[in-house]
Structure 1
């Protein structure tokens, strides 16, 4: 019996994983510049965290979570997203008590959702996300968006579209909520069962329905922007002004809603407009969530963040024909001729590695010609040729593979020689 990889997952092999490493390193560099610190949370949490934090009416909670009972009959769930887990950690470790606020965090790690696999979408996927907790200031909203745009643009992406909206505060949302109920109620029987269930629980989620998105009532639904109170209007106007000050291009879309229940005020999505990217153009989403921390047992704490899929980011790079400058090949390959030279090569390769060089040697007793072929396949910059005669003289022949030039070098000076060449 051949054991197959689970549906909706992937193996990331050498040759591809280097691109992942490059992107993840770039994310860490950007976060460092913005003073966001890395946090690592468990891959599974108590199911209640996501039910309360993400929202009972969301597709994630209702349809997509990997939930199981452990041997103590406790219900646990593989994390489907990162914000709720970060919020739980924020409460657990009383980060709200830190004198320096906001608390600025980022994470990179696997998430799990049971959904239909398609291009760029998997059941296990990797998210990079940031969270800024503890302040209610439109400037921090703009900072989070600046971090997001800096990250994508630093990788060379250009065909991007940032869409923003305001979901308003509690008062604004309640007014909009009633308007949506009044709008959809007369014809709710024409909508899917999910929308019917959401009508009184969370009517805003109807606007995010994929099945009924072409229904005529969707286009005429009341806009949240019509129900923003003065505070919410001023907040959103300040966010937009900061984005303008930062030279960040954006479009206001009053129909934009996020798929999680905890969002309010600023909401946003970043989309790819590259040809051939696919039907699902969203690269990243996020927004403000001022009620989440209280919902999971913490004090009243404002917050804002975003999360993006590394898989979809790599697809966007491919769609724009962007080749990341990942390091390929090795620094040095040691070719040996003779038993004494072969024995000596073990210590020599280790010495090169300790000096910081990516070095390799033959372990299959290949002939010299075969060893040179291996060096070519590994894209070695230099080949160090060591035979028993060279070993007796305490030297090695070093060949520059790009130039085709060869030079005799004393073994004790080999590291210094290669360092000077670097």
Structure 2
């Protein structure tokens, strides 16, 4: 086996052109929010042999896509090249992982290459299952159907919203864990606020379909969102889900899981959030949690290490953790992974703990937002205890639009926030 690769001496990330086999002290699968944040923190902590497996040339700040779809931000503000965000000194392996063999401590790539590791961080994100709702894959992108969960479609969402003057607008959320669980609601509120300002809200029937028994798991925020929906006249269907789409007829089937009743809704605008699950190679492999029907990676919820394979850590969207899948969660998970990974390399017990912190910025109007922060026990954990973030606030909206992207690109991805 080839010796461990050394980091690039330049200030630019190293792009690997290594042979079919290579070894690294730490291999990170995924160059998204979780992977880059961990890589940057490891480098700042002194790790000298870190490799990131990531095939994409583009890095997206996905939380901004809701504002793109609501006409409040340009898509380009959420975009960087992968080279720009890759930490200096990290070996960038521009390939996709296709399997992990924990026994041999190796990762196989799509090109047939084998990468071995001393420690592995699994953070490839999740995949959008457009085929999970019959007819959705064929309908999305035209005929009044859009989704802010794809960057190419977020601008289309805004085009549909501002072009609508009457008819039925349908906003849906699937069952199961999804990234940014508040996003399916936020775009409904932004749309309704726009229509209210244009004087056409009364001519538009707005339906919001949610799979949960309440609008939000934390009661204090659920009450505010219930009032927000009432303010806009939004019909909220709880414990319900879109189970079929006919894009040609512009019809969607809504199933009430509490009663089993199915309703066919004629729509003029449909904002659909697809079901989401782990990449198939994760779901079919030894890292998946048998308790997860979506194939997410098994991970100790406190120390973020795989219970069966102590050399493997996981965080971000792919980890099967009982908390919302958000970038804010990653910001708290990354230092725990880095510290416990370094403890592991020194044969020490894991010393860091993750309490389940996550945050969901809930945009309720063009310049209004709630900041829902909570832990595994759904207890509010405010970052600004002197500010009441359970009320709609303009300063919180500016935080989301301008402050959080700066924190992300200049803080998190640099390993300093």
TM-score (norm 2): 0.25
Higher RCO (C-alpha under 8 Å, 6+ residues apart): 2
Higher Rg of the two aligned structures: 1
* Larger relative helix fraction: 1
